[in-house]
Amino acid sequence: MSETRQGAAGATAHELELSYESGVEVEARSQWAYARMRFMRHRLAVVSLVVLILIGLVGAFAPWIAPYGFDELDLDNTTAPPTLEGWHLFGTDQLGRDYLSRVIFGIRTSLWVALVVALLSTAIGTTIGAVAGYFGGQVDNLLMRFTDLILTLPGLAVLLTAAVYFGQDDSVVFGVTIPQPLKIGLILAFLFWTSVARIVRGLFLSLREKEFVEAAKAAGATDTRIMFRHMLPNCVGPIIVNATLVVATAILVEAALSFIGFGIQPPNAALGKLISDGQGEGFNLWWLVTFPGLVIVIIALAINFVGDGLRDALDPTQRRVRG
Amino acid sequence: MLQYVVRRLLYSSVVLIAASFLVFVFVAKGAGDPLAPYYLAPNIDKEGLERIAEAKHLNENVFVRYAYWVRDAVTNQFGTTLLTNEPILPDLWRVMKNTLQLVVVAELLAILFAVAIGVYSALRQYSVFDYTATTFSFLGLATPVFWLALMLQVAVVQIYLHTGHRIFPVANLNSVDPGSGLSFVLDRAHHLVLPVLVLMVASIASYSRYMRASMLEVINSDYVRTARAKGLPESKVTMKHAFRNALIPLVTLVALNFGALLGGAIVTETVFSLDGMGLYFVNALNVADPYPVMAWLMITATMIIVFNLIADIAYGFLDPRVRYE
């Protein structure tokens, strides 16, 4: 591991100290530097991260990368199996639409919906968990009962119902248009915050007994300041790990919703929808079903591996860098 | 104990009633007028639609409609469907029976495999077997259920196209003419092979990871070391001391999961068009009929609550350290 590696965020790694025993220069490392070193040792996680970044870039720059448009018809070239000719790597459907391009646009929608779900559910869950854990007592009881209630709901069914009744088209709130895929993301986020809420609550329950919280209280810090400036930074590791796993779950669930037909609606592209379109074409055109699904598997697998790597890397009790 | 169960049931009923109102408002308000699309159809009997709206009290406010729904749910077995006016409950019992067959078989097989895989992985931690099992469970958890089902269908269809053999049926619970008695059972079993396989993959992937983790924890605990130290044979240590205790967390997980699965394997049933709870629900949503949707949600929620309770009680029986307050 290179000694010049420095912490990414707020690192104190620049402070060089002289080791008084040998006179060798030793670099002080921040927690983030240690975390990054531990993550880099996790080879599968690093490879997965690279794959994810590549897929993310392909999705982000879909209009420039995709060889064809999302809905571009080519009636001379229908039902072509995967071929190098004309870059139809994933074949074409019965209208001659290039499935590689459709999948690339699908990645774009599915990934950003999943990111919205992860960000929003993490924000909701962290707030609820922090308030419950910090104040305890009746507040905690009420919030946790509410969390239990959400956890006992038949998840997919509630999502389907909500998506059918609220998520089928764009809507305008206070003059701002909310695109339909975003609404599906919001609906998912309102069911996905429970795990992070429980995690944060558990951490807060033990953190609030710590001396530094007592010190902050004695110094006259407000509750909000103690919660978000003093306690929350101690929970960042588990929160990030959980958020990563939420992205994977969100992609799988959104794909299932879109496959059943209640998720993301055309003209928006979505991987799950592409699979159900492909299924509609019959099983002779196997490539229409196979490739979008394969892409989902690769994304979900990569996210889970990255999450695994982060879990090991962000555990501050693990200081060992070398194996 | 009895007091605990009664209190939990009372609390759950309150939650259920509150939830039923919220869901009703949600479904009734969100949908707007469920008949609206039909008014737009060209050749439709408008008076007939108005009669339906009248009979179902669609023009009343949402509180009145909820009250009518509660009356129907309690005294008239969840009432009838919106357009066809057919009773809901007989349909629900039929699909529930089918779902039960699918889910029970799949879960039992999944538990058997998962326990075996999990225990063996834990006993031979970091062996080739352990790594293979880990890889497969990661794959299983990253694979969308519906896609796995479709790929199996694609494979079966391709085999048929190339060899002319139909190995497994890819849809429905039975053939058109299933016969009766043993031939009916065999026909049903033949149709359930692929759906059961699909359901098993997801369950095995998560249960086996859970079993492995729980077994590892127990193996490294003090009392297992004590059992070894006092000279018990290894087989007795693993089977009697470690294995039985490692099973406890799995019991909870399975009970919770099973409660949820009784709501139907929505995705699997949709792909294989099996006449179960899940497909029933999707169809009800498709025609935007609030009454079967409500009935389904209520029955499923009750199942989940009951199985949560069973999980907690079972935990107390298996682990005497747990105390009910």
Residue A19 pLDDT level (bands cut at 50, 70, 90): very low
Over residues A251-310, the pLDDT tens digits come to: 999 999 999 988 888 888 889 988 988 887 767 788 888 999 999 999 999 999 999 889
Query: Chain-centre distance of CA B294, in angstroms?
Result: 17
The reply to whether A164 touches chain B by the CB within 8 Å rule is: yes
Q: Answer yes or no: is pLDDT of A175 > 70.
A: yes
Q: What is the pLDDT of residue B69?
A: 85
Q: What is the pLDDT of residue A231?
A: 92
Q: What is the pLDDT of residue A13?
A: 42
Q: Strand A25-27 vs strand A171-173: parallel, antiparallel, or unpaired?
A: unpaired
DSSP labels, A58-114 = HHHTHHHHSSS-TT---TTSTTPPS-SGGG-TT-B-TT--BHHHHHHHHHHHHHHHH
Angle between helices A137-152 and A194-207 (to 10 degrees): 150
To which H or E segment does residue A27 belong? strand A25-27
All residues at 6 or more sequence positions from A269 whose CB lies less than 8 Å from its CB, including other chains: A70, A102, A105, A106, A108, A109
Paired tokens of A42 = 């996790």
Q: What is the pLDDT of residue A72?
A: 78
Q: What is the pLDDT of residue A10?
A: 41
Q: What is the pLDDT of residue A14?
A: 43
CATH topology of domain A41-314: MetI-like fold (1.10.3720)
B270 vs A284: CB contact, 8 Å cut-off? no
A259 to chain B: nearest residue by CA? B146
The reply to whether B2 touches chain A by the CB within 8 Å rule is: no
Q: Please give the Cα distance from A296 to B154 (Å, whole number).
A: 18
Q: Answer yes or no: is pLDDT of A59 > 80.
A: yes
Residue A18 pairs with which residues in a beta bridge?
A25
Average pLDDT, chain A: 83
Q: Answer yes or no: is pLDDT of A34 > 50.
A: yes
B305 vs A152: CB contact, 8 Å cut-off? yes
Angle formed at CA A267 by CA A70 and CA A105, multiple of 5 degrees: 35
Cross-chain CB nearest to B301 (options A154, A293, A305): A154
* Side-chain-facing half-sphere of A22: CA atoms under 13 Å: 3
Q: Please give the Cα distance from A273 to A296 (Å, whole number).
A: 12
Distances, alpha carbon B85 to alpha carbons B53, B57, B82, B217, in Å? 12, 14, 6, 56
* Least confident residue range of A59-63, A92-96, B92-96: A92-96
Q: Who has greater pLDDT, A80 or B231?
A: B231
Q: What is the pLDDT of residue A79?
A: 77
* Side-chain-facing half-sphere of A109: CA atoms under 13 Å: 28
Q: Please give the Cα distance from A86 to A67 (Å, whole number).
A: 9
Q: What is the pLDDT of residue B31?
A: 60
In a mutational test of the B interface, the residue from A149, A257, A276, A283 whose CB has the highest number of chain B CBs within 10 Å is A283
The reply to whether A189 touches chain B by the CB within 8 Å rule is: no
Nearest to A251 by CA among B143, B201, B264: B143
Q: What is the pLDDT of residue A311?
A: 86
Instruction: Tell me if residue A289 falls in helix, strand or coil.
Output: helix
* Least confident residue range of A21-25, A139-143, A228-232, B143-147: A21-25
Mean pLDDT of A3-19: 42
Please, are residues B265 and B99 in contact by the beta-carbon 8 Å criterion?
yes
Asked whether this complex has an ipTM greater than 0.90, the answer is no
Q: Who has greater pLDDT, A27 or A238?
A: A238
Q: Who has greater pLDDT, A271 or A87?
A: A271
B307 to chain A: nearest residue by CA? A152
Query: Which residue type occupies B215?
Result: M
Residues of chain B with pLDDT under 50: none
Q: Please give the Cα distance from A259 to B144 (Å, whole number).
A: 10
- Any idea where the domains of chain A sit in the sequence? 1-29, 41-314
Please, are residues A190 and A128 in contact by the beta-carbon 8 Å criterion?
no
Q: Please give the Cα distance from B315 to B309 (Å, whole number).
A: 10
Q: Who has greater pLDDT, B163 or A168?
A: B163
Q: What is the DSSP letter of B143?
A: S
B115 vs chain A: nearest CA distance in angstroms?
23
Mean pLDDT of A69-90: 78
The reply to whether A55 touches chain B by the CB within 8 Å rule is: no
Rg (CA), chain B: 25
A259 vs chain B: nearest CA distance in angstroms?
8
B147 vs A262: CB contact, 8 Å cut-off? no
DSSP labels, B217-275 = HHHTSHHHHHHHHTT--HHHIIIIIIIHHHHHHHHHHHHHHHHHHTT--HHHHHHTT--
Q: What is the pLDDT of residue B264?
A: 65
Paired tokens of B57 = 């009290």
Please, are residues A33 and A13 in contact by the beta-carbon 8 Å criterion?
yes
Residue A317 pLDDT level (bands cut at 50, 70, 90): low
Please, are residues A132 and A140 in contact by the beta-carbon 8 Å criterion?
yes
* Side-chain-facing half-sphere of B48: CA atoms under 13 Å: 9
B-chain CB neighbours of A160 within 8 Å are 266, 281-282, 285
Cross-chain CB nearest to A286 (options B27, B141, B158): B158
Q: What is the pLDDT of residue A3?
A: 41
CATH number of the B89-318 domain: 1.10.3720.10
Q: Answer yes or no: is pLDDT of A321 > 60.
A: no
The reply to whether B31 touches chain A by the CB within 8 Å rule is: yes
- Any idea where the domains of chain B sit in the sequence? 17-75, 89-318
Please, are residues A184 and A110 in contact by the beta-carbon 8 Å criterion?
no
Q: Answer yes or no: is pLDDT of A45 > 80.
A: yes
